């Protein structure tokens, strides 16, 4: 699960486009199962739930995505102080 915020003052379409780029890259990674994206437009807060085949594949994908030079401008768009990444097991 990833939660983040983006800087204020950016058009919603621009924010959505950046999310689509990251989501598109995630979906091509080994072990990817599903992705759900939620946006609270009142405070510009995002929650991404990405399901992976295994925790090892989730960690490896995150490392590849964070290091991809082609995603540098998209990653820079995310407010680093508001980024929270966690790996959780589904209980129900």
Residue 41's domain is classified under what CATH number? 3.30.70.100
Render pLDDT for 33-42 as a digit per residue (tens, 0 to 9).
999 989 887 8
The answer as to whether 44 is a domain residue is: yes
Rounded Cα–Cα distance for residues 37 and 91 (Å): 20
Residue 46: give the domain boundaries.
2-85
Residue 92 domain-assigned? no
The total number of structural domains in the chain stands at 1
How would DSSP label each residue in 26-64?
HTTSTTEEEEEEEEETTTTEEEEEEEES-HHHHHHHHHH
φ/ψ of residue 91, rounded to 5: -105, -35
Q: Per-residue pLDDT tens for 40-74?
A: 878 778 899 999 999 999 999 989 988 888 888 77
């Amino acid at each position: 699960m990833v939660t983040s915020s983006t800087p204020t003052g950016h058009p919603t379409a621009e924010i959505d486009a950046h999310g689509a780029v990251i989501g598109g890259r995630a979906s091509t990674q080994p072990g990817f199962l599903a992705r759900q994206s939620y946006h609270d437009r009142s405070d510009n807060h995002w929650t991404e739930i990405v399901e992976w085949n295994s925790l090892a594949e989730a960690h490896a994908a995150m490392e590849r995505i964070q290091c991809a030079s082609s995603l540098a401008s998209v990653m820079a768009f995310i407010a680093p102080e508001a980024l929270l990444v966690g790996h959780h097991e589904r209980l129900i």
